[in-house]
Chains A and B, each alone.
Chain A
Amino acid sequence: MSAPLLSVRDLTVDYASVRRQGRAVDGVSFDIAPGEAVALVGESGCGKSTTALALLRLLPDSTRIGGSIVFDGQNINGLDEKALRQLRGRRIGMVFQEPMTSLNPVQRIGHQIAEVLRVHTNLGSCARRARVLELLHQVAIPDPTRNIRAFPHELSGGQRQRVVIAMAIAMNPDLLIADEPTTALDSAIQAQILELLDRLRRELGMALLLISHDLPLVEQWSDRVIVVHHGQVMEELPSQQLFAQSQHAYTRGLINASVRLHDDLHYTNGRLVEVAANVDPSGDHSFTLTRPPLPASAPALTPSPCDTSLLSVSNISVQYGERRVVDDLSLRLGRGETLGLVGESGCGKSTLSRTIVGLLRPSAGSIRLNGQDILNSDAAARRALRRRVQMVFQDPYASLNPRHRIGELLGNILAFHGERDPIQRQGEVFKVLDQVGLPRSAAYRWPHEFSGGQRQRIGIARALILQPELILLDEPVSALDVSVQAQILNLLADLKATHGLSYIFISHDLAIVRYFSDRVAVMHAGRIVEENDARTLLLAPTHAQTRRLIEAAH
Chain B
Amino acid sequence: MDENSTQIVRRYFKEYYFRHGTQIKSPSDIGSREFGYLPFGAMMVRHLSFKDIGALRAMLVREVPAGAYCSNSLYVDPTAEMHLKGWKKAELIFDIDADALKQPCKKVHDIWLCKSCGRKEFGLRPDICRSCKSNRLLELPWACPMCLDAAKKETFRLLDFLEFDLGIAPVETKVYFSGNAGYHINVEKSAYETLDTHGRAEIADYLSGRGLTPSIFASQRLLPTDPGWRGRLARYIRDLPEDDQTFNSGSQFENRLSELANEFSKKQIESFMNRFLSENAVRIDSMVTTDVHRIFRMPETLNNKTGLVKRECGNNLAEFDPLSEAVALKDEEQKAQVFVDMCPKIELGGRSYGPFKSETLELPLYIGVYIASKGAGKFVSGKGEEIAAQTKGLGNQ
- The yes or no verdict on A and B being binding partners is no
Give the A-binding residues of B (Cβ under 8 A). Answer: none
Chain A interface (Cβ < 8 Å from any Cβ of B): none
